[in-house]
Structure 1
Amino acid sequence: MDMPTVAIVGRPNVGKSTLFNRLVGKKLALVDDRPGVTRDRREGDVAFGGLIFRVIDTAGLEESDDDTLTGRMRMQTEAAILAADVVLFVIDARAGVLPADHSFAELTRRAGCPVILIANKAEGGAGMSGAYEAFSLGLGDPIPFSAEHGEGLGELHNALIEALPKPDPDEEEDEDGPGGRSLRVAIVGRPNAGKSTLINNMVGEDRLLVGPEAGITRDSISLDWEWRGRRIKLHDTAGMRRRARIDDKLEKLAVSDGLRAVRFAEVVVVLLDATIPFEKQDLTIVDLVESEGRSLVIGLNKWDLVADQPGLLKQLREDCTRLLPQVRGVSVVPLSGLAGEGIDKLMQAVVNAAEVWDRRVSTSKINDWLSEATSRNPPPAVSGRRIKIRYATQVKSRPPHFALFGNQLDALPKSYTRYLVNALREAFDLPGTPIRLSLRTSQNPFDKS
């Protein structure tokens, strides 16, 4: 099968070349703050989490006459769009959607191939309003992204899995061989939480170096495994510490590799030391997993050392609910990596978490829920005018992402959005998974209701 082609398009200076360099893993494309640095199409081969494709970096789309330099550059870009199997349409989330973006979105739509909308420069949540504004382009759900910092790579990978042409089974075997795609599971935690010992017991061999010293694992190690007929790709990672405490350059690279493993995983097991659980660093790691939108399971390792303490498990589960409200209902599984106890329960929790993370709810059920939730606890009034939530739908899964439409939703207090997220979690049985909620205010100037 020929290698599929992915074209990166958008206005000048939205970060196309930085994204190109990120995907190919090399600085092949010249990057500068000045617009218009890229003039010709540049191509590179990409191996991205099991996906293999050719990516094309294009000149920035500008409205110009065909016989001008910028006009000829635009024609080169249009040719790349027509030849592509998938288009990555990039906007600058901080600048928001500009009139030219609408024109070029229409051009991209006419090409008839799948389009993935990327709201770039949204690092650390900056530019999220611009990302939500990108819905107006009619190209589907935007991926908040940072090409410079690598944020959003997991979401882009999932979108490419859906959009790229599927391999012909007569030509090419599934990337994970017979038996279907592997469930990607990352094991993360503080140094010396017992991650490598646990994985060695899972796979039934001393595959990973272990010892009492913290920080033995320096690479993100990937292992293929099978549990009850289910294909699993396990990622052992270096222990994660706060960056301020990391002086060694090699360890900084290892922690960065661990972050990458989290972004490519579907389920992340955060392994805690049951003798000293819920340290500040543990909570920071859970925050990272939630912000990346990964499915989550908490493993209480070294449980054999504290199993004789009555009521401890109940207490730790209550502590989890109190300390981690953003992943309310997350599975907390006691285990011993050294003794090989609790692994079956851990893996069942992993499979269940993946199912919840991938769950979709019908629009009719969501709007029945919305009617009941807003009747039970109506949205507040702003300047004497009540906020009205008219309609809700699920725009994507992995993690579940819901959109609310109405008037003045930008004035909705955080306490009310928390109420809605908790109500969604309870109504549709979504324990432990991150839930995303987008608020889209009507732009109709005649909407006075």
Structure 2
Amino acid sequence: MPRPIVAIVGRPNVGKSTLFNRLAGSRIAIIEDKPGVTRDRLYHTCEWSGKVFTIVDTGGLEPDSKDELFQQMQRQTQVAIDTSDVIVFVVDGREGITPSDWQIADMLRKSNKPVILACNKVDNNKLRENSYEFYELGFEDVYMISAINGLGTGDLLDAIVKYLPDREEFVYEEDTIKVAVIGRPNAGKSSIINRVLGEERVIVSDMPGTTRDAIDTPFEVEGKKYVFIDTAGIRRKSRIDESIEYYSVLRALSAIERADVCLMVIDSYEGIAEQDAKIAGYAHEQGKGIIIVMNKWDKVEKNDRTMDEYKKIIRYRLDFIDYAPILFVSAKTGQRVQRIIETIDRVAAERSKRLATGVLNDMLNEVIATNPLPSIKGKPIKIYYGTQVSIKPPTFVFFSNYPDEIHFSYTRFLENQLRRLFGFEGTPLRIKFKKQGES
């Protein structure tokens, strides 16, 4: 099910980012701390009272500013507001209501979204008494908080989840492979979909979009069921400018979360941008299968080394998904497009692969014999045994006498050995260490 989005908005220096970090830092989010994944994002996946949602930080709003930077921030924030289900409007409880607060309040009322007013920096009774003036802004839900020390944030979260929608979506048959087509605007996502559907002579069924931000296209190829989840359609409603580019990641979130496999479509001629890395990083963190599709390959001037040179650049820029297969295609000419479906099948199968415990431990004994773990305080670190605990993505737990002392480099070594011996192409792997005897 797609996760609702909660936008945190307000003018500069009221504590929006502090509140964002407070909510994200409460470990209400499940995010893999793995080097190589882009960390400077403005969104975070949270859970509170059994509800999962995504919080989004935004730039400071100054409605009357003529400064181009502030005007750009306002356009970006408007995209976040339009995309959100709930808005948290942050104001400065020490400073009192400002003219900008009144203007922002008017703008938020026009959104027709639930708005929760978070009166920040209220950390004593005197400030609390002075902050009641904020009720004049006309919002029913007003919460006095101090984001820097966490006062009142639990009540704020209770209010947020009260307004989160219970979304209904079309439930596909269990054997249907759900494919999110993600990437920046103008990379050719819709063209890829149209070409695949035409090339494969598939059976396409008419189905309205099951979420606000995506268009679903169920189809069959040789009796196998698929659905393309395309986020491209929504961008036609707005100008393609820097704000849409900057926030295009928001529109990919729901599609990625619903998917089994993600087609990361990149314009070969334009190359890989920071936004591509952010979107790919989110797919990786969510444990989805990933295929890198370099589109518009027909526009690239080539020699016999061009493809290898491109692969080196891709692996360098997107090193945290070095397991993802790379396809060089052209939606315009149809070049190599026929490989997309077969690669989706392969990656979906790898993401569902399960190793027998005996096979896994035979591998473990072999790799430890050739590359033993170091000692800690004169005592050797041991890994006694391992087991695969789940699939989608494949997740392994290894039991050790000193699980917290096992360095990331050894985790990476084990992952490389799993891939060398068993494949797992296109899927992230999760490797955890526990104390022997822990459940």
Shorter-chain TM band? 0.5 to 0.7
Counterpart for residue 261 of structure 2: 267
Unaligned runs of 5+ in 1: 1-21, 28-92, 96-119, 127-143, 152-173, 206-217, 445-449
CA positional deviation for 1:359: 0.3
In the alignment, is residue 372 of structure 1 matched against residue 366 of structure 2? yes
Q: How far, CA to CA, are the matches of 2:283 and 2:234 in structure 1?
A: 12
1:183-231 CA-to-partner distances (Å, cap 9, x unmatched) read 10011011110111221222339xxxxxxxxxxxx93111112223321
In the alignment, is residue 356 of structure 1 matched against residue 350 of structure 2? yes
The one-letter code matched in structure 1 to 2:47 is S
For 1:269, what is the secondary structure of its paired residue? strand
Further displaced range: 420-429 or 365-374: 420-429
In the alignment, is residue 333 of structure 1 matched against residue 240 of structure 2? no
In the alignment, is residue 225 of structure 1 matched against residue 219 of structure 2? yes
Q: How far, CA to CA, are the matches of 1:303 and 1:23 in structure 2?
A: 33
In the alignment, is residue 412 of structure 1 matched against residue 319 of structure 2? no
Contact conserved, 1:357 with 1:397, CA < 8 A, in 2? yes
Q: How far, CA to CA, are the matches of 1:191 and 1:401 in structure 2?
A: 33
Q: How far, CA to CA, are the matches of 1:26 and 1:336 in structure 2?
A: 34
Higher relative contact order (CA 8 A, sep 6+): 2
In the alignment, is residue 146 of structure 1 matched against residue 47 of structure 2? yes
In the alignment, is residue 122 of structure 1 matched against residue 29 of structure 2? yes
Matches within 5 A, 1:36-435: 121-124=28-31, 146-147=47-48, 150=53, 176=172, 181-204=175-198, 219-238=213-232, 247=243, 255-306=249-300, 308-435=302-429
CA positional deviation for 1:409: 1.2
Q: How far, CA to CA, are the matches of 2:183 and 2:261 in structure 1?
A: 14
CA positional deviation for 1:391: 0.7
Q: How far, CA to CA, are the matches of 2:182 and 2:3 in structure 1?
A: 26
1:340-379 CA-to-partner distances (Å, cap 9, x unmatched) read 3322111111110101111000000000000011111101
1:392-441 CA-to-partner distances (Å, cap 9, x unmatched) read 00000111100000111101111111111111111111123100001101
Runs of 4+ in 1 over 4 A off after TM superposition: 22-27, 174-177, 245-248
CA positional deviation for 1:330: 1.9
C-alpha distance 435-198 of structure 1, shift in aligned 2 (>3 A): same
Q: How far, CA to CA, are the matches of 2:260 and 2:373 in structure 1?
A: 34
C-alpha distance 149-411 of structure 1, shift in aligned 2 (>3 A): same
* TM-score, L = length of structure 2: 0.56
Contact conserved, 2:352 with 2:392, CA < 8 A, in 1? yes
For 1:440, what is the secondary structure of its paired residue? strand
1:220-250 CA-to-partner distances (Å, cap 9, x unmatched) read 1111122233211001114999xxx9646x9
C-alpha distance 239-286 of structure 1, shift in aligned 2 (>3 A): farther
Contact conserved, 2:252 with 2:279, CA < 8 A, in 1? no
Over the aligned positions, Cα root-mean-square deviation in angstroms equals: 3.5
C-alpha distance 123-394 of structure 1, shift in aligned 2 (>3 A): closer
The one-letter code matched in structure 2 to 1:320 is I
Percent identity, please: 30
Contact conserved, 2:266 with 2:293, CA < 8 A, in 1? yes
Contact conserved, 2:291 with 2:324, CA < 8 A, in 1? yes
Contact conserved, 1:192 with 1:239, CA < 8 A, in 2? no
The one-letter code matched in structure 2 to 1:146 is E
Q: How far, CA to CA, are the matches of 1:312 and 1:281 in structure 2?
A: 24
C-alpha distance 414-334 of structure 1, shift in aligned 2 (>3 A): same
The one-letter code matched in structure 2 to 1:436 is R
Contact conserved, 1:294 with 1:398, CA < 8 A, in 2? yes
1:226-283 CA-to-partner distances (Å, cap 9, x unmatched) read 2233211001114999xxx9646x995x743421110110000000111122222222
Contact conserved, 2:32 with 2:285, CA < 8 A, in 1? no
Q: How far, CA to CA, are the matches of 2:358 and 2:314 in structure 1?
A: 33
Q: How far, CA to CA, are the matches of 2:250 and 2:3 in structure 1?
A: 18
For 1:343, what is the secondary structure of its paired residue? coil
Q: How far, CA to CA, are the matches of 1:192 and 1:367 in structure 2?
A: 47
CA positional deviation for 1:310: 2.7
* TM-score, L = length of structure 1: 0.55
The one-letter code matched in structure 2 to 1:275 is Y
For 1:360, what is the secondary structure of its paired residue? coil
The one-letter code matched in structure 1 to 2:300 is V
Counterpart for residue 40 of structure 1: none
Q: How far, CA to CA, are the matches of 2:5 and 2:324 in structure 1?
A: 38
C-alpha distance 372-251 of structure 1, shift in aligned 2 (>3 A): closer
CA positional deviation for 1:337: 1.3
Q: How far, CA to CA, are the matches of 1:188 and 1:346 in structure 2?
A: 14
Further displaced range: 418-427 or 357-366: 418-427
Contact conserved, 2:2 with 2:255, CA < 8 A, in 1? no
Contact conserved, 1:304 with 1:336, CA < 8 A, in 2? yes
The one-letter code matched in structure 2 to 1:203 is L
Contact conserved, 1:294 with 1:434, CA < 8 A, in 2? yes
